[in-house]
């Protein structure tokens, strides 16, 4: 197992245990992250803020790995994030919605590129945001 794989595994653990300090320690100060719901995030503080919102919205979240890869200095994971929405949901507009109390199960892929010092410098997260909103009951009826 290489450094990128080890860092990605630590990130997954930090997210599922809602540990913002551990999350922060894994990202470079000038890291960039791209997510479906948060867009392009620049800097450690903004990325930690993104994860804080997610872990507050789904504090009991768990992760089931499906596939894990490492190519050079990049780790790639495919897995399923599950939990119940028991905390407020932050919208990109700045509005906050109350918890829906609904269960979610979202399949996603994330990639983390790690520098020589062991910090994530580039992070990409992909999941179906419409599926996520639908499971929360936040889409208009069709």
Spatial distance between the Cα atoms of 77 and 5, rounded to a whole number of angstroms: 9
Spatial distance between the Cα atoms of 48 and 63, rounded to a whole number of angstroms: 18
Predicted confidence at residue 31, as pLDDT, reads: 98
CA terminus-to-terminus distance, the chain: 47
Residues in the chain, how many? Answer: 142
Spatial CB neighbours of 47, under 8 Å, sequence gap ≥ 6: 23, 27, 31, 33, 41, 123
Measured between alpha carbons, how far is residue 23 from residues 8, 48, 50, 59, 83 in Å? Answer: 10, 7, 11, 15, 19
Predicted confidence at residue 92, as pLDDT, reads: 72
* Cα angle, residue 122 at apex, residues 117 and 128 outer, rounded to 5°: 145
Q: How is residue 18 annotated by DSSP? A: T
Can you give the pLDDT of all 142 residues of the chain as single tens digits? 799 999 999 999 999 999 999 999 999 999 999 999 899 999 999 999 999 999 999 999 999 999 999 999 999 999 999 999 999 998 777 889 999 999 999 999 999 999 999 999 999 999 999 999 999 998 888 7
SS3 state at 4: helix
Predicted confidence at residue 73, as pLDDT, reads: 98
Predicted confidence at residue 56, as pLDDT, reads: 95
């Amino acid at each position: 197992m290489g450094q990128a794989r080890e860092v990605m595994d630590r990130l997954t653990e930090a997210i599922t245990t809602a540990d913002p300090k551990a999350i922060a320690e894994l990202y470079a100060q000038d890291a960039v992250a791209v997510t479906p719901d948060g867009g392009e995030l620049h800097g450690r503080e903004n990325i930690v803020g993104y994860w804080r919102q997610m872990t507050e919205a789904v504090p009991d979240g768990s992760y089931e790995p499906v596939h894990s890869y490492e190519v050079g200095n990049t780790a790639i994971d495919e897995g399923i994030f599950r939990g119940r929405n028991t905390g407020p949901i932050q919208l990109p507009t700045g509005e906050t919605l109350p918890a829906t109390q609904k269960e979610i199960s979202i399949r996603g892929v994330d990639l983390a590129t790690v520098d020589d010092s062991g910090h994530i410098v580039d992070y990409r997260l992909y999941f179906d945001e419409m599926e996520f909103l639908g499971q929360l009951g936040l889409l208009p009826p069709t």
